[in-house]
Amino acid sequence: MENIEVTVIGGDISPDEREEYIERGKRNKPNMILTAVRITLDGEYADITYRYTDPPQDMKICMDGCMIGKFGSFNHGKQAEYLDRVPNSLN
């Protein structure tokens, strides 16, 4: 299902904390695909770096309840509009 690479440097974290960092990364950019999380621990602080990819070019896109086509067929303006949109919180 998900193939997210998680790297922890400078210590260990609990599985719950690891899942929370992954979920945070997904919430930060819901229209992108999260591929990797790098966590660098420094005492009580954690420096987190996320790596994302664009949706696959053949992924069918539905916006506002309407099927609008495949991501790869969009011009640059429509791709930017899709990637910058804010999902409805009611979904």
Model pLDDT for residues 14-40, shown as the tens digit of each residue: 999 999 999 999 888 877 888 999 999
User: Do 59 and 40 share a structural domain?
Assistant: no
Query: What confidence score (pLDDT) does residue 91 get?
Result: 47
- Print the domain residue range for 77: 55-85
User: Do 74 and 60 share a structural domain?
Assistant: yes
Q: What is the mean pLDDT of residues 60-74?
A: 67
Cα gap 69→55, rounded to integer Å: 13
Residue 72 identity: G
pTM for the structure as a whole: 0.60
Residue 48 and residue 37 in contact, taking contact as beta carbons nearer than 8 Å: yes
User: Do 76 and 46 share a structural domain?
Assistant: no
User: Do 75 and 42 share a structural domain?
Assistant: no
In a domain, 90, yes or no: no
User: Do 75 and 37 share a structural domain?
Assistant: no
Cα gap 60→72, rounded to integer Å: 9
Query: How does residue 87 score in pLDDT terms, banded at 50, 70 and 90?
Result: low
In a domain, 31, yes or no: yes
In a domain, 32, yes or no: yes
